[in-house]
Amino acid sequence: MARGCLQGVKYLMFAFNLLFWLGGCGVLGVGIWLAATQGNFATLSSSFPSLSAANLLIVTGTFVMAIGFVGCIGALKENKCLLLTFFVLLLLVLLLETTIAVLFFAYTDKIDRYAQEDLKKGLHLYGTPGNVGLTNAWSIIQTDFRCCGVSNYT
């Protein structure tokens, strides 16, 4: 009875990690597709030009795929080292998410002020030579939200 229950848990853990791995593949694929099709579409931030949706999806998808793969193989092979690595990676993700959430809520005003200043700097570069991606991003934002500016029309 106990052996059958442990086998069920083993295959259930494998199935869930396989779903996470497939999800990571999907996120990575969308990130690569965005990078390939929207290559000149830059971020709205002039301070962090490599911080785009495509790059964030690529990094997130790769990380989720790696964790899902380690979990799948660790569960299937019942390898203690892989299962410990899987646990440590999940613990690191939990700690990182908790830390980011606490810092975000603690410094919400500073983050908001910095983001507005950064967006205003980017808006001043709108239409300038060499900033095609930034100009396209602002054009799409202004069209979609039917507005202009950062906090109001000025």
- pLDDT computed for residue 43 by the predictor: 62
Measured between alpha carbons, how far is 32 from 54 in angstroms, rounded to an integer? 7
Farthest CA pair distance, the chain: 71
**What percent of the chain is modeled with pLDDT above 70?**
84
Distance CA 136, CA 140 (A): 6
Q: Is the pLDDT of residue 68 over 90?
A: yes
Using 50, 70 and 90 to split pLDDT, how confident is the model at 45?
low
Q: Where are the domains of the chain?
A: 1-145
Angle between helix 132-145 and 108-124 (nearest 10): 110
> Chain-wide mean pLDDT for the chain?
84
- 81 confidence band (pLDDT: 50, 70, 90): very high
What pLDDT sits at residue 120? 77
Residue 39 has pLDDT above 70, yes or no: no
